[in-house]
Amino acid sequence: MNTIFLFTLIFHILLFITLTLPSSTASSGSWQILHNSIGIPAMHMQLLHTDHVVMFDRTDFGLSNLSLPNGMCRHFKNGNVSRTDCTAHAIEYDVASNKVRGLFLQSEVWCSSASVMADGMLVQTGGFNEGERKVRTYIPCSNSSCEWKEIDGGLNVKRWYSTNHALPDGRQIIIGGQGQFNYEFFPKSSNDKDTYSLPFLVETYDKFVQNNLYPFVFLNLDGNLFIFANNRAILFNYKNNTVVRIYPTIPDGGNPRCYPSTGSAVMLPLKNLESKNIEAEVLICGGAPIGSWQQTREGQFWEALRTCARIKITDPNAMWKMEDMPRGRVMNDMVMLPNGNVLIINGAALGTAGWEQAVNPVLNPFLYKPENENGSRFEVLNPTTIPRMYHSSTVLLRDGRVIVGGSNPHQYYEYKTSFYPTELSLEAFSPPYLDPMFAPLRPKILEPSSQANLTYGKYFRMSFQVNGTLVTDSVYVTMLAPPFNTHSFSMNQRLLVLTTTEVNTTGNSTYEFNVRTPISSVLAPLGFYIIFVVHQEIPSEGIWIRISD
């Protein structure tokens, strides 16, 4: 036997082993109830680098189903009636112990927004009534001692239904909101105390329905912001308040995608980070057709939009490309999975966002594979049994599960109604990649250690273990910014596919390579990220890293 023949034989044996391993399409995911009641319907969610998820609802719905710790109570006036509320409207969920701790909110956070700062502190902005101009900070802790702190007048104007995004300089921008056609920053530097006007939000304002609330905002690779409201987008230079580019309207007759005709959007994985011609794409799915919202007021529920629109936002001549989901969907969340696929989850088939304005929950998540050919990108996954309608939320955990909470399409807590009762449960969806049959393919990160501190544009050594046969050219590393999720949009959600060197075998099913961090805070704003090693689309459990200058 000559050597070439031997190598060919070995190659074919390896190939055979690879091909006979189950493919990730063989499994359709599974659901698990984590809690029947976490005490609140989770309207807003953020995963923090302590592996705690902060969730909050609103403070003037009435009493929640969870008492505040240590006999704490909030005393407030409702009109001229004094009230006392000793229940929690925010919680800290500890992933490892599956336990919930009530947090004390002093003012109304309903339909607000937030973003995590470079140091890991959660900054929540705005809300309603006495909470509408407040900023609330939450510094993550591991000893159950942390609480919200309120900054009075932290915002220049009231913000309700705004969108926040982390900026390359470590601050955040807060855009729009009900009646606000402008933006501001947090924290403010001495030379930007102001609120800056954004006429695009006037242009995209629908006088009956609005449709430009919770705009979809992404940081483009040239440092400008891609801002989508209603049915179209601009590229916006927030530094000197200029519109850099006007993108075309989605070619479907102008159907709205933003609140309350709520669809959702993601920036697709950023890859080829070393290339001069690096590209960024945005995918928008679902929403409600023109006129749908008014119909719901008459008790008529129209079919939600079935289309997704995808655009290369880095391309000056960009055009939207349309494709169809397996079915129409409104109030759908879009979650970037560690392997670069998109999970479309929650929401309904008929109606719009708003109180009691949707029916026919879509219980099946859809998987969208952006790298596949048009026509073979979607898969329908296993359904939950719990409708997740208006005011539900979802985030990805470091272990690859996706947690889902909330749903309360009513003005108050209504547990007894037959029309989508207030939902206090917390559920986890395990995407197909978590199926135990993929255990032999699943990498385990050995190095770097959790909470590693990294800087921009540097190689770091990464080692991992895979017990089954490693297919070296299907190993990649992703880096995820955990988003703030509310009203079906995940602010700051961003996944990068990092540059890696060749994989070396170090023995005993262990491997190593060098991985390059993104070169700038425009690609990846400062702060905490989760890094995953992915092998044949099966991700490892992630590790937290912090990237700084």
Ligand X SMILES: *[C@@H]1O[C@H](CO)[C@@H](O)[C@H](O)[C@H]1NC(C)=O
Q: Which stretch binds ligand X (CB under 6 A): 9-17, 338-346, 463-471, 485-493?
A: 463-471
Tell which residue, 549, 547, 522, 528, has the closest CA to residue 219.
522
Give the other-Cβ count within 10 Å of 442's Cβ: 23
- Kindly tell me which of 77 and 207 has the beta carbon lying closer to ligand X: 77
Residue number of the CB atom closest to ligand X:
321
Q: How far is the CB of 502 from ligand X (least distance, A)?
A: 6
Q: CA–CA separation, 111 vs 319, rounded Å?
A: 32
Position 322 contacts ligand X (CB under 6 A):
yes
Q: How far is the CB of 435 from ligand X (least distance, A)?
A: 14
Q: How far is the CB of 81 from ligand X (least distance, A)?
A: 8
The angle formed by the CA atoms of residues 405, 407 and 410, to the nearest 5 degrees, is: 150
Structure tokens at 169: 């300089």
Asked whether the beta carbons of 55 and 91 are under 8 A apart, the reply is: yes
- Kindly tell me which of 278 and 439 has the beta carbon lying closer to ligand X: 439
- Give the three-state DSSP class for 20: helix
Position 374 contacts ligand X (CB under 6 A):
yes
Position 321 contacts ligand X (CB under 6 A):
yes
Position 242 contacts ligand X (CB under 6 A):
yes
In the list 2, 77, 79, 316, the residue contacting ligand X (rule: CB under 6 A) is 79
Position 415 contacts ligand X (CB under 6 A):
yes
In the list 18, 237, 382, 469, the residue contacting ligand X (rule: CB under 6 A) is 237
Q: How far is the CB of 138 from ligand X (least distance, A)?
A: 12
Terminal alpha carbon distance of the chain: 56
- Give the three-state DSSP class for 486: strand
Q: How far is the CB of 337 from ligand X (least distance, A)?
A: 19
Q: CA–CA separation, 230 vs 261, rounded Å?
A: 8
Q: CA–CA separation, 256 vs 235, rounded Å?
A: 19
- Kindly tell me which of 300 and 504 has the beta carbon lying closer to ligand X: 504
Asked whether the beta carbons of 468 and 21 are under 8 A apart, the reply is: yes
Q: How far is the CB of 235 from ligand X (least distance, A)?
A: 11
User: b/e string for 160-197 if b means 16 or more Cβ within 10 A?
Assistant: bbbbbbbbeebbbbbbbbbebbbbbbbeeeeeeeebee
Q: CA–CA separation, 68 vs 174, rounded Å?
A: 30
Q: CA–CA separation, 482 vs 116, rounded Å?
A: 9
In the list 240, 277, 317, 385, the residue contacting ligand X (rule: CB under 6 A) is 240
Q: Which of residues 111-170 bind ligand X (CB under 6 A)?
A: 141, 143, 145
Position 511 contacts ligand X (CB under 6 A):
no
Q: How far is the CB of 388 from ligand X (least distance, A)?
A: 15
User: Which runs of E-coded beta strand occur in 231-341?
Assistant: 232-237, 242-246, 264-267, 281-285, 307-312, 321-324, 333-336
Binding string, residues 417-456; x marks residues near ligand X by CB under 6 A: -------x--------------x--x-x----x-xxx---
In the list 71, 253, 375, 436, the residue contacting ligand X (rule: CB under 6 A) is 375
- Kindly tell me which of 185 and 513 has the beta carbon lying closer to ligand X: 513
Establish how many alpha carbons lie within 13 A of residue 152's alpha carbon, considering only the half-sphere containing its beta carbon: 2
Q: CA–CA separation, 38 vs 88, rounded Å?
A: 10
In the list 512, 516, 520, 541, the residue contacting ligand X (rule: CB under 6 A) is 512
In the list 252, 303, 323, 435, the residue contacting ligand X (rule: CB under 6 A) is 323
Q: Which of residues 35-64 bind ligand X (CB under 6 A)?
A: 37
Q: Which of residues 19-38 bind ligand X (CB under 6 A)?
A: 37
- Kindly tell me which of 2 and 97 has the beta carbon lying closer to ligand X: 97
Q: Please count the residues of this chain forming the interface with ligand X, following the rule CB under 6 A.
A: 34
Label the pairing between strands 543-548 and 452-455.
parallel
To which H or E segment does residue 535 belong?
Answer: strand 527-535
Q: Which residues, at least 6 apart from 262, have a Cβ–Cβ distance to it below 8 Å?
A: 214, 286, 287, 288, 330, 331, 352, 353, 487, 488, 489
- Kindly tell me which of 152 and 192 has the beta carbon lying closer to ligand X: 192
| Site of interaction with ligand X (CB under 6 A) | 37, 65, 79-80, 141, 143, 145, 237, 240, 242, 321-323, 374-375, 415, 424, 439, 442, 444, 449, 451-453, 461, 465-467, 501, 504, 508, 512-514
